[in-house]
Amino acid sequence: MIQLTISPELKICCPKLTLGCIEADIEVHASPKELLSEIDFRISKIRQTLELEGISKLPAIESSRKAYKACGKDPARYRLSAEALLRRLVLGKELYQINNVVDQLNLVSIATGFSIGGYDAGKIQGDIVFGIGLADEPYSGIGKGELNIENLPVFRDETGAFGSPTSDSQRTEVTERTQRFLMILIDFGGSDRLQEGKFMAVELLKKYCQAKNITDFNIA
């Protein structure tokens, strides 16, 4: 099992921070119609009940934005992934269809408001520390290119930064070759919905990603 800790400096900025972690052996392929139908149902519900100005007031989003400000990052300029997904939906845009593993992650994210990291565990080197980005620290985000992660909460392994609540990195991207998957739900506010989100993710991983050898744990 991967070892993960939260750095003291990040914990000072975000004292209620808790990480919900899931590791599993999975199979990566195109999303089945049943998963896409679940996503479409959730999108329809969100569009019926949520307006653009209400996104930042969702408890998970609100606490995450406060955490960014506490770390010294502007959440309006470096949007959290969950907030960016919800904004897309409310503005009438569709979610990108990537693969079954990433798509189920996005479903959990829009359902809970948590920004979620999804990583090929086989590409992670050594233990993980969730800390704060440094000036000029190299980082290449998926679909974003080079990203300024200074003052951004980031996951690091022995090689360097590989994940953040704004964008995961190309280095640990989930592909059709991924066999071991690490999923991290990032709860900056100490929400009672973290366990609910983890349960939802585990069930989706079993149902649509043939997940086996599952372990889940919290880090606070």
Q: Give the separation between CA 75 and CA 153, rounded to whole angstroms.
A: 11
Q: pLDDT at position 1, please?
A: 79
**What is the value of pTM for the model shown?**
0.96
Express as a percent the part of the chain with pLDDT over 90. Answer: 95
Q: What is the DSSP letter of 111?
A: H
Q: pLDDT at position 6, please?
A: 98
Name 157's Cβ contacts closer than 8 Å, sequence gap at least 6. 124, 125, 126, 127, 128
Q: pLDDT at position 16, please?
A: 97
Q: Give the separation between CA 61 and CA 74, rounded to whole angstroms.
A: 14
Q: pLDDT at position 37, please?
A: 98
CB 120 within 8 A of CB 172: yes
Q: pLDDT at position 159, please?
A: 96
Kindly give the parts of the chain with pLDDT less than 70: none
Residue type, 69: K
Q: pLDDT at position 143, please?
A: 81
Domain count, the chain: 1
Q: Is 52 helix (H, G, I), strand (E, B) or coil?
A: helix
Q: Give the separation between CA 184 and CA 105, rounded to whole angstroms.
A: 10
CB 85 within 8 A of CB 95: yes
State the Rg of the chain over Cα.
Answer: 16
Which domain CATH number covers 215? 3.50.40.10
Name 203's Cβ contacts closer than 8 Å, sequence gap at least 6. none
Q: pLDDT at position 145, please?
A: 80
Q: Give the separation between CA 197 and CA 179, rounded to whole angstroms.
A: 22
Which residues span the domain enclosing 23? Answer: 4-219
Q: pLDDT per residue over 31-81, tens digit each?
A: 999 999 999 999 999 999 999 999 999 999 999 999 999 999 999 999 999
